[in-house]
Chain A
Amino acid sequence: MSSLVLFPPLSKETPDAEGVLATWFVSEGSTVVPDQLLAEVQVDKVAAEVPAPVAGVVHLLVAEEAVVRQGAPIARID
Protein backbone atom coordinates (compact mmCIF):
# COMPACT_ATOMS: atom_id res chain seq x y z
CA MET A 1 0.00 0.00 0.00
CA SER A 2 1.88 3.14 -1.08
CA SER A 3 1.34 6.73 0.01
CA LEU A 4 1.88 9.81 -2.05
CA VAL A 5 3.57 12.80 -0.48
CA LEU A 6 2.18 16.02 -1.90
CA PHE A 7 3.67 19.52 -2.20
CA PRO A 8 1.98 21.37 0.68
CA PRO A 9 -0.51 24.20 0.01
CA LEU A 10 1.60 27.11 1.22
CA SER A 11 -0.29 29.78 -0.68
CA LYS A 12 -3.96 29.57 0.22
CA GLU A 13 -4.95 32.47 -2.02
CA THR A 14 -3.53 30.81 -5.11
CA PRO A 15 -4.10 27.06 -4.72
CA ASP A 16 -2.30 26.13 -7.90
CA ALA A 17 0.65 28.41 -7.37
CA GLU A 18 4.00 26.97 -8.28
CA GLY A 19 6.90 26.58 -5.94
CA VAL A 20 10.26 24.91 -5.75
CA LEU A 21 11.42 21.71 -4.18
CA ALA A 22 14.40 23.34 -2.52
CA THR A 23 16.11 20.48 -0.66
CA TRP A 24 15.83 16.69 -0.40
CA PHE A 25 16.97 15.38 2.95
CA VAL A 26 16.61 11.72 2.00
CA SER A 27 17.92 9.86 -1.00
CA GLU A 28 16.08 7.69 -3.48
CA GLY A 29 15.22 4.31 -2.01
CA SER A 30 16.06 5.07 1.62
CA THR A 31 13.87 3.82 4.44
CA VAL A 32 12.01 6.50 6.34
CA VAL A 33 9.99 6.62 9.55
CA PRO A 34 6.86 8.69 10.23
CA ASP A 35 7.58 12.42 10.74
CA GLN A 36 11.10 12.09 9.38
CA LEU A 37 12.15 15.23 7.52
CA LEU A 38 11.88 14.49 3.79
CA ALA A 39 12.19 17.86 2.09
CA GLU A 40 12.04 21.61 2.32
CA VAL A 41 9.87 23.44 -0.21
CA GLN A 42 9.34 27.09 -1.01
CA VAL A 43 6.48 29.12 -2.53
CA ASP A 44 7.30 32.83 -2.91
CA LYS A 45 8.73 33.85 0.44
CA VAL A 46 7.32 31.01 2.48
CA ALA A 47 9.32 27.88 3.15
CA ALA A 48 8.04 24.70 4.75
CA GLU A 49 9.29 21.31 5.86
CA VAL A 50 7.67 18.17 4.48
CA PRO A 51 7.63 15.26 6.94
CA ALA A 52 7.04 11.62 6.00
CA PRO A 53 3.40 10.68 6.65
CA VAL A 54 4.14 6.99 7.01
CA ALA A 55 7.06 4.60 7.29
CA GLY A 56 8.46 2.85 4.27
CA VAL A 57 10.82 3.15 1.34
CA VAL A 58 10.76 6.57 -0.30
CA HIS A 59 10.91 7.22 -4.04
CA LEU A 60 11.62 10.78 -5.15
CA LEU A 61 9.33 11.97 -7.93
CA VAL A 62 10.86 15.39 -8.60
CA ALA A 63 14.41 16.67 -8.69
CA GLU A 64 15.89 19.18 -6.29
CA GLU A 65 15.25 22.75 -7.47
CA ALA A 66 12.44 21.54 -9.71
CA VAL A 67 9.41 23.78 -10.09
CA VAL A 68 6.35 22.04 -8.67
CA ARG A 69 2.69 22.98 -8.44
CA GLN A 70 1.13 23.01 -4.98
CA GLY A 71 -0.67 19.74 -4.37
CA ALA A 72 1.39 17.81 -6.91
CA PRO A 73 3.04 14.59 -5.73
CA ILE A 74 6.70 14.93 -4.89
CA ALA A 75 7.40 11.46 -3.45
CA ARG A 76 5.93 8.02 -3.00
CA ILE A 77 6.44 5.88 0.08
CA ASP A 78 5.98 2.13 -0.34
Chain B
Amino acid sequence: MTIMEAPHATRRLTTSKAMVEAIAQEMERDPSVFYMGEDVGAYGGIFSSTTGLLEKFGPKRIIDTPISETAFIGLGIGAAVEGMRPIVELMFSDFMGVCLDQIYNHMAKIHFESGGNVKVPMVLTMAAGGGYSDGAQHSQCLWGTFAHLPGMKVVVPSSPADAKGLMTAAIRDDNPVVYVFHKGVMGLPWMVKNPRTVDEVPEDEYVVPIGRARVAREGSDVTVVTLSLSVHHALDVAEKLAPQGIEVEVIDLRSLVPLDREAILTSVGKTGRLVVVDEDYLSYGVSGEVVATVADVDPGLLVMPPQRVAVPDVPIPYAHDLEYAVLPRQDRIEKAIHSITTR
Protein backbone atom coordinates (compact mmCIF):
# COMPACT_ATOMS: atom_id res chain seq x y z
CA MET B 1 0.00 0.00 0.00
CA THR B 2 1.91 3.03 -1.22
CA ILE B 3 1.19 6.31 0.50
CA MET B 4 1.04 9.09 -2.07
CA GLU B 5 2.09 12.30 -0.37
CA ALA B 6 1.80 15.76 -1.81
CA PRO B 7 5.21 17.02 -2.95
CA HIS B 8 7.19 18.71 -0.17
CA ALA B 9 10.35 20.75 -0.23
CA THR B 10 12.90 18.43 1.32
CA ARG B 11 16.44 18.21 2.47
CA ARG B 12 18.49 15.38 3.93
CA LEU B 13 18.49 14.71 7.64
CA THR B 14 19.36 11.83 9.90
CA THR B 15 16.47 10.02 11.55
CA SER B 16 17.31 11.59 14.89
CA LYS B 17 17.30 15.11 13.48
CA ALA B 18 14.02 14.42 11.70
CA MET B 19 12.46 13.18 14.94
CA VAL B 20 13.71 16.28 16.75
CA GLU B 21 12.33 18.52 14.00
CA ALA B 22 8.87 17.04 14.39
CA ILE B 23 8.96 17.61 18.13
CA ALA B 24 10.16 21.19 17.70
CA GLN B 25 7.50 22.04 15.13
CA GLU B 26 4.74 20.59 17.30
CA MET B 27 6.07 22.34 20.41
CA GLU B 28 5.96 25.62 18.52
CA ARG B 29 2.43 24.95 17.38
CA ASP B 30 1.04 23.66 20.68
CA PRO B 31 2.18 25.07 24.04
CA SER B 32 0.86 22.05 25.92
CA VAL B 33 3.52 19.77 24.38
CA PHE B 34 6.59 19.16 26.51
CA TYR B 35 9.34 16.51 26.62
CA MET B 36 10.43 14.79 29.81
CA GLY B 37 12.96 12.07 30.54
CA GLU B 38 16.46 11.25 31.71
CA ASP B 39 19.24 13.31 30.13
CA VAL B 40 16.93 14.90 27.59
CA GLY B 41 17.93 18.42 28.57
CA ALA B 42 21.53 19.56 28.21
CA TYR B 43 22.64 16.16 26.94
CA GLY B 44 20.03 16.19 24.19
CA GLY B 45 19.00 12.62 24.81
CA ILE B 46 21.37 9.68 25.02
CA PHE B 47 20.51 8.76 21.46
CA SER B 48 19.99 12.31 20.23
CA SER B 49 16.21 12.32 20.59
CA THR B 50 16.13 15.94 21.82
CA THR B 51 19.33 17.52 20.54
CA GLY B 52 19.01 21.31 20.48
CA LEU B 53 15.54 21.42 22.04
CA LEU B 54 16.63 22.72 25.44
CA GLU B 55 18.23 25.77 23.85
CA LYS B 56 15.10 26.39 21.84
CA PHE B 57 12.39 25.79 24.43
CA GLY B 58 14.02 26.05 27.84
CA PRO B 59 14.01 23.85 30.94
CA LYS B 60 10.31 24.20 31.63
CA ARG B 61 9.44 22.35 28.47
CA ILE B 62 12.47 20.11 28.02
CA ILE B 63 12.73 18.54 31.43
CA ASP B 64 15.40 16.33 32.97
CA THR B 65 13.96 13.89 35.48
CA PRO B 66 15.46 11.88 38.33
CA ILE B 67 15.89 8.15 37.72
CA SER B 68 12.28 7.47 38.67
CA GLU B 69 10.52 5.98 35.67
CA THR B 70 7.41 4.99 37.58
CA ALA B 71 7.05 8.50 38.95
CA PHE B 72 7.74 10.48 35.80
CA ILE B 73 5.91 8.25 33.36
CA GLY B 74 2.98 8.35 35.76
CA LEU B 75 3.37 12.11 35.96
CA GLY B 76 3.07 12.22 32.19
CA ILE B 77 -0.15 10.23 32.44
CA GLY B 78 -1.65 12.63 34.96
CA ALA B 79 -0.66 15.66 32.93
CA ALA B 80 -2.19 14.10 29.80
CA VAL B 81 -5.39 13.31 31.68
CA GLU B 82 -5.59 17.03 32.50
CA GLY B 83 -5.24 17.99 28.83
CA MET B 84 -1.52 18.50 28.29
CA ARG B 85 0.38 16.60 25.58
CA PRO B 86 3.49 15.17 27.22
CA ILE B 87 6.21 13.28 25.41
CA VAL B 88 7.90 11.06 27.97
CA GLU B 89 11.06 9.16 27.24
CA LEU B 90 11.97 5.74 28.57
CA MET B 91 15.69 5.73 27.92
CA PHE B 92 15.90 2.12 26.76
CA SER B 93 12.94 -0.15 25.97
CA ASP B 94 14.79 -2.65 28.15
CA PHE B 95 13.92 -0.50 31.18
CA MET B 96 10.22 -1.15 30.79
CA GLY B 97 10.44 -3.58 33.69
CA VAL B 98 10.86 -0.85 36.28
CA CYS B 99 7.76 1.04 35.22
CA LEU B 100 5.58 -1.32 33.26
CA ASP B 101 2.64 -0.94 35.60
CA GLN B 102 2.24 2.73 34.82
CA ILE B 103 2.45 1.91 31.11
CA TYR B 104 0.18 -1.05 30.65
CA ASN B 105 -2.15 -0.84 33.67
CA HIS B 106 -2.59 2.91 33.67
CA MET B 107 -1.55 4.72 30.49
CA ALA B 108 -3.07 2.01 28.30
CA LYS B 109 -6.19 1.31 30.33
CA ILE B 110 -7.55 4.58 31.65
CA HIS B 111 -9.43 5.43 28.47
CA PHE B 112 -11.11 2.03 28.40
CA GLU B 113 -11.83 1.79 32.13
CA SER B 114 -13.45 5.21 32.04
CA GLY B 115 -15.74 4.14 29.20
CA GLY B 116 -14.02 6.66 26.94
CA ASN B 117 -14.57 9.57 29.31
CA VAL B 118 -10.90 10.18 30.07
CA LYS B 119 -8.24 10.53 27.37
CA VAL B 120 -4.49 10.06 27.72
CA PRO B 121 -2.91 11.95 24.79
CA MET B 122 0.65 11.00 25.60
CA VAL B 123 3.67 9.84 23.60
CA LEU B 124 6.06 7.37 25.21
CA THR B 125 9.35 7.36 23.31
CA MET B 126 12.06 4.79 23.79
CA ALA B 127 15.31 3.70 22.21
CA ALA B 128 15.61 0.04 21.25
CA GLY B 129 17.78 -2.42 19.39
CA GLY B 130 21.26 -3.89 19.31
CA GLY B 131 24.28 -4.35 17.08
CA TYR B 132 26.87 -2.45 19.07
CA SER B 133 27.63 -4.88 21.90
CA ASP B 134 25.54 -3.27 24.61
CA GLY B 135 24.60 -6.67 26.03
CA ALA B 136 21.44 -8.45 27.04
CA GLN B 137 19.86 -5.68 29.12
CA HIS B 138 20.52 -2.81 26.71
CA SER B 139 19.96 -4.29 23.26
CA GLN B 140 16.39 -5.49 23.22
CA CYS B 141 13.55 -4.32 21.00
CA LEU B 142 10.49 -5.45 22.98
CA TRP B 143 8.02 -3.70 20.69
CA GLY B 144 6.14 -7.00 20.50
CA THR B 145 5.48 -6.84 24.23
CA PHE B 146 4.04 -3.33 24.02
CA ALA B 147 2.01 -4.31 20.97
CA HIS B 148 0.63 -7.34 22.79
CA LEU B 149 -0.88 -5.31 25.65
CA PRO B 150 -4.13 -3.60 24.67
CA GLY B 151 -4.69 0.14 24.84
CA MET B 152 -1.58 1.74 23.38
CA LYS B 153 -0.67 2.43 19.78
CA VAL B 154 2.84 1.38 18.78
CA VAL B 155 4.84 2.99 15.96
CA VAL B 156 8.32 2.05 14.79
CA PRO B 157 9.77 4.34 12.10
CA SER B 158 12.64 3.09 9.94
CA SER B 159 13.44 6.19 7.93
CA PRO B 160 14.02 9.90 8.60
CA ALA B 161 10.83 11.01 6.86
CA ASP B 162 8.72 8.47 8.71
CA ALA B 163 10.42 9.39 11.97
CA LYS B 164 9.19 12.93 11.49
CA GLY B 165 5.77 12.02 10.13
CA LEU B 166 5.00 9.44 12.79
CA MET B 167 6.20 11.70 15.61
CA THR B 168 3.86 14.45 14.44
CA ALA B 169 1.02 11.97 14.21
CA ALA B 170 1.83 10.52 17.62
CA ILE B 171 1.84 13.90 19.34
CA ARG B 172 -1.48 14.85 17.76
CA ASP B 173 -3.11 11.50 18.54
CA ASP B 174 -5.47 11.59 21.51
CA ASN B 175 -4.35 8.10 22.50
CA PRO B 176 -1.18 6.89 24.19
CA VAL B 177 1.38 6.16 21.47
CA VAL B 178 4.54 4.18 22.09
CA TYR B 179 7.17 5.53 19.68
CA VAL B 180 10.13 3.16 19.39
CA PHE B 181 13.29 4.39 17.69
CA HIS B 182 16.00 1.83 16.94
CA LYS B 183 19.37 3.26 17.86
CA GLY B 184 20.75 1.90 14.58
CA VAL B 185 18.37 3.98 12.45
CA MET B 186 19.09 7.26 14.21
CA GLY B 187 22.14 8.04 12.06
CA LEU B 188 24.31 8.72 15.09
CA PRO B 189 27.88 9.69 14.35
CA TRP B 190 29.17 7.31 17.02
CA MET B 191 27.51 4.13 15.84
CA VAL B 192 27.77 2.16 12.60
CA LYS B 193 24.93 3.32 10.41
CA ASN B 194 23.14 2.10 7.33
CA PRO B 195 23.26 4.76 4.57
CA ARG B 196 19.46 4.92 4.54
CA THR B 197 19.48 6.50 7.98
CA VAL B 198 20.15 9.80 6.24
CA ASP B 199 17.48 10.71 3.72
CA GLU B 200 15.12 13.35 2.36
CA VAL B 201 12.73 14.81 4.93
CA PRO B 202 9.94 17.29 4.19
CA GLU B 203 10.74 20.68 5.66
CA ASP B 204 7.32 21.76 6.75
CA GLU B 205 4.57 20.07 8.71
CA TYR B 206 4.52 16.38 7.84
CA VAL B 207 2.16 13.68 9.08
CA VAL B 208 2.35 9.95 8.41
CA PRO B 209 -0.87 8.19 9.41
CA ILE B 210 -0.53 5.70 12.22
CA GLY B 211 -1.61 2.19 11.22
CA ARG B 212 -0.53 2.28 7.56
CA ALA B 213 2.38 0.24 6.28
CA ARG B 214 4.53 1.38 3.37
CA VAL B 215 5.75 -0.57 0.35
CA ALA B 216 9.45 0.26 0.64
CA ARG B 217 10.25 -1.66 -2.53
CA GLU B 218 7.94 -3.36 -5.01
CA GLY B 219 8.57 -6.91 -6.14
CA SER B 220 6.74 -9.97 -7.40
CA ASP B 221 8.63 -13.00 -6.11
CA VAL B 222 8.64 -12.79 -2.34
CA THR B 223 7.22 -10.53 0.35
CA VAL B 224 9.47 -9.44 3.19
CA VAL B 225 7.42 -7.91 5.99
CA THR B 226 9.59 -6.06 8.44
CA LEU B 227 10.14 -2.93 10.51
CA SER B 228 12.77 -0.57 11.87
CA LEU B 229 16.43 -1.25 11.11
CA SER B 230 15.55 -4.56 9.46
CA VAL B 231 13.85 -2.60 6.65
CA HIS B 232 17.27 -1.31 5.61
CA HIS B 233 18.79 -4.75 5.79
CA ALA B 234 15.93 -6.18 3.72
CA LEU B 235 16.41 -3.44 1.12
CA ASP B 236 20.13 -4.20 1.00
CA VAL B 237 19.32 -7.85 0.29
CA ALA B 238 16.66 -6.92 -2.27
CA GLU B 239 19.17 -4.81 -4.15
CA LYS B 240 21.64 -7.67 -4.11
CA LEU B 241 19.12 -10.26 -5.35
CA ALA B 242 17.50 -8.23 -8.11
CA PRO B 243 20.32 -8.91 -10.60
CA GLN B 244 19.92 -12.61 -9.74
CA GLY B 245 16.33 -12.46 -10.93
CA ILE B 246 14.66 -12.48 -7.52
CA GLU B 247 12.37 -9.49 -7.10
CA VAL B 248 11.78 -8.85 -3.41
CA GLU B 249 8.86 -6.76 -2.18
CA VAL B 250 9.66 -5.08 1.13
CA ILE B 251 6.80 -3.99 3.37
CA ASP B 252 7.79 -1.53 6.09
CA LEU B 253 5.11 -1.99 8.75
CA ARG B 254 5.79 1.40 10.42
CA SER B 255 3.04 0.69 12.96
CA LEU B 256 2.42 -2.40 15.06
CA VAL B 257 -0.74 -1.13 16.67
CA PRO B 258 -2.83 -0.72 14.61
CA LEU B 259 -1.27 -3.34 12.35
CA ASP B 260 -1.84 -2.89 8.61
CA ARG B 261 -3.01 -6.44 7.99
CA GLU B 262 -4.44 -5.46 4.63
CA ALA B 263 -0.99 -4.46 3.37
CA ILE B 264 0.42 -7.83 4.45
CA LEU B 265 -2.39 -9.76 2.77
CA THR B 266 -2.24 -7.73 -0.44
CA SER B 267 1.47 -8.35 -0.83
CA VAL B 268 1.39 -12.03 0.10
CA GLY B 269 -1.61 -12.47 -2.18
CA LYS B 270 0.62 -11.19 -4.97
CA THR B 271 3.84 -13.10 -4.23
CA GLY B 272 2.71 -16.21 -2.39
CA ARG B 273 5.92 -16.21 -0.36
CA LEU B 274 6.49 -14.60 3.03
CA VAL B 275 9.57 -13.80 5.04
CA VAL B 276 9.08 -11.87 8.27
CA VAL B 277 12.13 -10.09 9.65
CA ASP B 278 11.88 -8.87 13.24
CA GLU B 279 14.67 -7.93 15.63
CA ASP B 280 12.45 -8.71 18.62
CA TYR B 281 12.37 -12.23 20.09
CA LEU B 282 11.05 -15.01 17.85
CA SER B 283 8.39 -16.69 19.93
CA TYR B 284 5.06 -15.19 20.96
CA GLY B 285 5.62 -11.93 19.08
CA VAL B 286 5.50 -9.81 15.93
CA SER B 287 6.66 -12.43 13.45
CA GLY B 288 4.06 -14.92 14.67
CA GLU B 289 1.41 -12.23 14.42
CA VAL B 290 2.29 -11.47 10.81
CA VAL B 291 2.14 -15.15 9.89
CA ALA B 292 -1.16 -15.52 11.75
CA THR B 293 -2.51 -12.56 9.78
CA VAL B 294 -2.16 -14.67 6.64
CA ALA B 295 -3.13 -18.01 8.22
CA ASP B 296 -6.26 -16.52 9.79
CA VAL B 297 -7.55 -15.36 6.42
CA ASP B 298 -6.24 -17.89 3.89
CA PRO B 299 -3.19 -20.11 4.42
CA GLY B 300 -3.64 -21.09 0.79
CA LEU B 301 -2.18 -17.72 -0.18
CA LEU B 302 1.22 -19.19 0.64
CA VAL B 303 2.89 -21.55 -1.83
CA MET B 304 5.81 -22.14 0.55
CA PRO B 305 6.02 -22.15 4.35
CA PRO B 306 6.55 -18.69 5.85
CA GLN B 307 10.04 -17.88 7.11
CA ARG B 308 10.63 -16.00 10.33
CA VAL B 309 13.96 -14.27 10.77
CA ALA B 310 14.06 -12.97 14.31
CA VAL B 311 16.23 -13.06 17.40
CA PRO B 312 16.01 -16.65 18.64
CA ASP B 313 14.69 -16.99 22.17
CA VAL B 314 17.96 -16.10 23.80
CA PRO B 315 19.25 -13.05 25.68
CA ILE B 316 21.35 -10.95 23.33
CA PRO B 317 25.01 -11.87 23.73
CA TYR B 318 27.75 -9.36 24.35
CA ALA B 319 30.62 -10.61 22.15
CA HIS B 320 30.34 -9.15 18.66
CA ASP B 321 30.33 -12.41 16.71
CA LEU B 322 27.81 -13.95 19.08
CA GLU B 323 25.56 -10.93 18.87
CA TYR B 324 25.69 -10.86 15.10
CA ALA B 325 24.85 -14.55 14.98
CA VAL B 326 21.48 -13.90 16.64
CA LEU B 327 20.53 -10.59 15.01
CA PRO B 328 18.36 -10.84 11.86
CA ARG B 329 20.99 -9.38 9.54
CA GLN B 330 21.40 -9.46 5.78
CA ASP B 331 22.93 -12.94 5.68
CA ARG B 332 20.02 -14.58 7.47
CA ILE B 333 17.48 -12.61 5.44
CA GLU B 334 19.09 -13.64 2.19
CA LYS B 335 19.20 -17.29 3.25
CA ALA B 336 15.52 -17.22 4.20
CA ILE B 337 14.56 -15.73 0.84
CA HIS B 338 16.59 -18.29 -1.05
CA SER B 339 15.04 -21.14 0.91
CA ILE B 340 11.59 -20.36 -0.46
CA THR B 341 12.41 -18.98 -3.87
CA THR B 342 14.85 -21.54 -5.25
CA ARG B 343 12.99 -23.11 -8.08
Contact = CB atoms under 8 A, between A and B. Distances in A.
Interface of A: 20, 22-26, 36-37, 40-42, 45, 47
10 contacts: A22-B189, A22-B190, A23-B14, A25-B11, A25-B14, A37-B17, A40-B14, A40-B189, A42-B189, A47-B189
User: Top 3 A-B pairs ranked by shortest CB distance?
Assistant: A22-B189, A42-B189, A25-B12
B163 to A, nearest CB: 15
A41 B17 CA distance: 14
A26 B12 CA distance: 7
B321 to A, nearest CB: 22
A23 B190 contact: no
Nearest to B192: A65
Interface of B: 11-14, 17, 187, 189-190, 193, 198
Tell me the dominant secondary structure on chain A's binding face.
strand
Nearest to A19: B189
Contacts of B13: 25, 37
A16 B302 CA distance: 60
B11 A37 contact: yes
Given A25-B12, A42-B190, A47-B189, 4 more contacts: A22-B189, A22-B190, A25-B14, A37-B17
Contacts of A22: 189-190
Contacts of A41: 189
A40 B187 CA distance: 10
B189 A20 contact: yes
A18 to B, nearest CB: 14
A30 to B, nearest CB: 9
Nearest to A21: B189
A22 B191 CA distance: 9
